[in-house]
Structure 1
C-alpha cells in the first residue's frame, strides 16, 4: 500500500506538474494566437496603407501630369500672346517708319520744288541781268564809237 500510495503520490505530482505545464502552454498558445491575430490585423492595416499609398502616388502623378499639361498650355498661350504683340508692334513700327519716310520724301520733294523754283527765278534774273548788261555794254560801245567818230571828224 505504501508503494501504491507513493506511486499515486508521484502520479499525482506528475499529473499536477503536467496540468500546470499544460495550463501554462494553453495560456502561451492563447497569447501567441492573440499575437498572430494582432499581427494579421497589423498586416491587413499595412496592406490597406500600401494600397492607399499606391493610389495616392497614382493620384499625385496624375495631378502632376495635369498640372504640367496646364502649365504647358499656359506657356504656349503666353508665347502666342507675346509673339502676337511683337508682330503687332513690328507692324506698327513699320507703318510708322513708312509714314515718316513718306513725310520725308514729301518734304524733300517740296524742298526740291522750292530749290528749282529759286533756280528758275535766279536764272531769269541772270538772263535779265545779261540782257541789261549787254544793253549797257552796247550803249557804252555805241557811246565810245560815237566819241571816236566825233574825235575823228574833229581831227579830220
Structure 2
C-alpha cells in the first residue's frame, strides 16, 4: 500500500513537451493531502475495529460460559433420567425431580447473572451522571465571574475566596449525596 510519504517523494522525469510541472506538483500535493487523511482514518478505523472485536470476544466468552453451564446442567439431567430407567419406579421419580431441580437452578443462576449485569449497567449510568454533574459544577465555579484572582490583594480576601470554594464543594457533596439516594430508590 502506498503511504503519503511515497506520494510526496515521487518524482517524474522532465520531458520536452510534457505537462506543466507546477500543475502536476499542485495536483500531487492535493492527492498526497487527501491520501494522508484517508490513510490516517484507515489506521484509526482499524484500531477501532480491533477494540470492538476485543469487546465482542469478551461478551462471546461470557455467553459461551453461560451456555456451557446450561448444557452441563441439561446433560446432568439427561444422565440422571437414563440411570433412573434402570431402577425401580420410585427411584426413577426421585431422579426426575433432581434433574428438574438442577435445570431450574441453572436457569435461576442465569437469571441472577442477567440481573447483576443490568445492575452494573445501571450503576455505570448513575456514576456517569454524577461525574458529569460534579464536573459541570466545578466548571461553574471556575467560570464564576464574581471570583477573580486579580481582585484578591489581601490575606482576608484570600481567606474569603477559599471559604467560598469550600462552601461550593460542600454544596456539591450534598447534591451528590441526594443524587445517590435518589438513584438507590
**Common fold: TM-score over 0.5:** no
Structure with bigger RCO (C-alpha 8 Å, 6+ apart):
2
Q: Normalization by structure 1: what TM-score?
A: 0.38
The structure having more radius of gyration, on CA atoms, is 1
Q: Which is richer in helix?
A: 1
